[in-house]
Amino acid sequence: MKNNLFYIFGLLLLTSSLFLTGCDDELEIGPTVTVTNVSPAAAYGGDAVTLQGSNLNTVNAIFIGDKHADEVQSMSESSITFIVPRNAVPGPSIITLAMANNYRVTVDFEVLQRPIPEIHAISPTAAASGEEVTIAGMNLNVLTSVKVGGVAASTVSATNNLLVITVPDGLPINSPAEIELATQEVTEVSTSIFYVGDNKVANSDLEDGSGDDFTDWTKLNGGDQMTEVTGADAYFGRSLRIVGAAANPWNTQLASLPTPLNFGSEYTILLWARAEAAGAQMRVSVSQFDGNGADYFYGETVDIPTEWTQLSWTFEVTNDLETHRVVLDMGMTDVPFLIDNVILIETGAAGPPIPQNLLANSGFENGLDSWLLLNGSVEPTTEEVHCGSQAIKVTGAGGNPWDTQMAADVVPLVQGNEYEVKLWAKAAEDGAVMRVSASRYNGGNGDDYFYGADVALTTEWAEYSWIFTVGKDIPDGHHLVLDMGASDKVFYVDDVSLAEYVEVIPINILDNGDFEDGMTSWELLNGSVEPTAEEVASGSQALKVTGAGGNPWDTQMAAAAVPLVLGNRYAVKLMAKAAEDGAVMRISASRYNGGNGDDYFYGADANLTTEWAEYTWEFTVGKDIPDGHHIVLDMGASDKIFYIDNVILYEVPEFVCP
């Protein structure tokens, strides 16, 4: 309040000076203000400056150039300390002290241009959470923040030329991430590729070793022409200089230490290279050297630029070997070149085979072929489609689920095996409901063994799924049936699939989602939530929640902020168990973001059962929040006790139209 009055009075003084011309002699100026010292005489915006002199307690306002310095830290008869305005114009300037009756005193001053951080090199090029990364550049000791992938990173040490940071938790693994260096005025963002993840190459930055030896690397051919380079010519610290044999690629060849890789998975090799003249070439291969001649990948030969450049090759592990080697084939030419920071990272996790859809005409492109309408109103349509040119339009009967019903042609299923039904649906209005069943009819034998839960359809296209175990052996085959008569609403269905269920464990973006570390990486916002060993879905701990019996947010906790991509789709899965009937919860994102109220998703309420069960919510990121997003558990709607475990946040793969 004092500073506000100080500011208002200062503006009035400046304004009054426009009207006081030729009358100064008639005004009583007051005590003479003197400035005997300015410390420091030059400062950055945001820095404190102290003036010493006399009668400084009569000063009503301070200006740097035309910018008002309204942050006054202290004032006495002999000194004033204030903060240089952050928007003060850099360069030679003037401090103006404004007193009553248009009395002014000026002092020379300089506003410094705060140095802009520069990133020259990042080493290593890949690092996992908790590992250190060194950045070389300039003005690296004037930063206000450092972020990796949008998440704040801790600084280990900082000098003008070197910055050492720790990769933060909560980032998607084996994914590229930008490194951001911020000052009060600017943000510098890395332009090179940096991966957060497990680098499979030992001594990838070539720093270990001495002379022309490089620890964990084997010179297979032409080793006498592979030498150490340090100083300004190196990319970072210590690089490797190669003069090729000007013959076959393998006549000059360097191999990494053997390492296990996941069979069937995709990996990327990334390295820095610089040629001393035009004409240098190289390639990579895997795995050249296992004694069995198991070479299964030869990368494309690339020309090496005369400036430090990142080169990359991507391959799939097609040979199931115990270990694999990255081999650099560099014998094509004798033009000298340098390499550094060679990494190998898994960029595409090996997954199970994509299950085959057992249904014919699953997208209704051929109308109702391979489907039989049993009851009610179902017709092909082009009004609303998810993929292709057609879907089906359903008008519910508003009675029993089977009053509007259609069945797919018979398919063979194995008794005891699990299968998954997926489909896309969109309601014309709220209130539409459907389910699936198997096998609704089988020659009049009534072999129904599965009825899926009802799902409430939204007014946007969304995917719905059911998992079931084949409960009967039906030699003539099984029918998947869509039961759509429970509501009287119009809705659309498209892209139905029935396939053998394969569990895919997603990569969890959240830290400590299993609560084995208590409440670490979570913040209790409201109500009663505590770690417990009373009831767990897995591991040794879960959360015990006592609902407030009021608003959902009256019992509430938020996960630590994580970076999410605007427009991408994510899902939250968790396990929950109620101590008694009536427990309710939901999730939201992002519940709070520095007080900005960036809530863009509120999930539907889930009614919890008294057995451990999995609950899922999907959402599309609706806001760009640079500081990260919070997944929030809203648990206060009921007054019941329940337990939560294994909270997983993961990115939903984009649906590819068949």
Position 625 scores a pLDDT of: 81
Predicted pLDDT of residue 629: 87
User: What does the DSSP 8-state code read for residue 15?
Assistant: H
Report whether pLDDT(144) > 50. yes
Q: How confident is the model at residue 115 (pLDDT cuts 50, 70, 90)?
A: confident
Residue 593 has pLDDT above 60, yes or no: no
What local confidence, expressed as pLDDT, does residue 204 receive?
A: 95
Q: Give buried/exposed letters for 303-335 (b at 16+ CB in 10 A, else e).
A: ebeeebeebebebebeeebeebbbbbbbbbbeb
Could you give phi then psi for residue 22, rounded to 5 degrees?
Answer: 80, 5
Confidence class for position 104, pLDDT limits 50, 70, 90: very high
Q: Is the pLDDT of residue 7 over 90?
A: no
What pLDDT is recorded for position 55?
Answer: 96
pLDDT tens digits for 197-244?
899 999 999 999 999 999 999 999 999 999 999 999 999 999 999 999
> What is residue 15's predicted lDDT score, i.e. its pLDDT?
41
CA separation for the pair 185, 142 (Å, rounded):
11
- Residue 216: its pLDDT value, please? 96
CATH numbers and ranges of domains, the chain: 2-112 (2.60.40.10), 118-196 (2.60.40.10), 217-348 (2.60.120.260), 371-500 (2.60.120.260), 522-651 (2.60.120.260)
440 pLDDT band, cuts 50/70/90, is low
Tell whether the model's pLDDT for residue 16 goes beyond 50: no
Mean pLDDT taken over the chain: 88
**pLDDT tens digits along 459-498:** 989 889 999 999 888 888 899 999 999 999 999 999 999 9
Closest to 220 in 3D by CA, of 259, 260, 257, 251: 251
Average pLDDT over residues 308-330: 90
Q: What is the mean pLDDT of residues 607-615?
A: 92
CA dihedral over 593, 595, 598, 599, signed as positive or negative: positive
Stretch among 171-180, 278-287, 347-356, 505-514 having the lowest mean pLDDT: 347-356
d(CA 569, CA 494): 19
DSSP structural state of residue 246: S
pLDDT at 124: 95
Minimum mean pLDDT among 228-242, 393-407, 576-590, 619-633: which range? 619-633
pLDDT tens digit string along 175-196?
899 999 998 778 899 989 999 9
| Residue among 539, 503, 532 at smallest CA distance from 518 | 532
CA dihedral 34, 40, 44, 49 (to 10 degrees): -50
pLDDT at 604: 86
pTM, entire model: 0.48
pLDDT for position 480: 94
More reliable by pLDDT, 19 or 541: 541
- State how far Cα 456 lies from the chain centre: 30
SS3 annotation, 397-409: CCCCHHHCEEEEC
User: Cα angle at 263 between 262 and 264, to 5 degrees?
Assistant: 110
User: pLDDT value at position 594?
Assistant: 53
- pLDDT at residue 173, as a whole number: 81
- pLDDT of 349 above 60: no
Q: Can you count the helices (H) and strands (E) in the chain?
A: 1, 53
For the segment 51-67, what is each residue's pLDDT rounded down to a tens digit? 999 999 999 999 999 99
pLDDT at 3 over 60: no
Q: Which of 18-22, 132-136, 186-190, 653-657 has the lowest mean pLDDT?
A: 18-22
Report which DSSP code applies to 412.
-
Residues of the chain with pLDDT > 70, as a percent, come to 90
- Beta strand residue intervals within 459-568, DSSP E: 462-469, 480-483, 490-500, 522-526, 528-532, 542-546, 556-559
- Integer Cα distance of 271 and 204 in angstroms: 9
Residue 653 has pLDDT above 80, yes or no: no
The predicted pLDDT at position 449 comes to 81
497-519 pLDDT tens trace:
999 987 776 778 899 999 999 99
Confidence of residue 294 (pLDDT cuts 50, 70, 90): low
What does the block give as tokens for 56?
Answer: 């400084």
Check whether 79 has a pLDDT greater than 90. Answer: yes
Determine the pLDDT at residue 502. 78
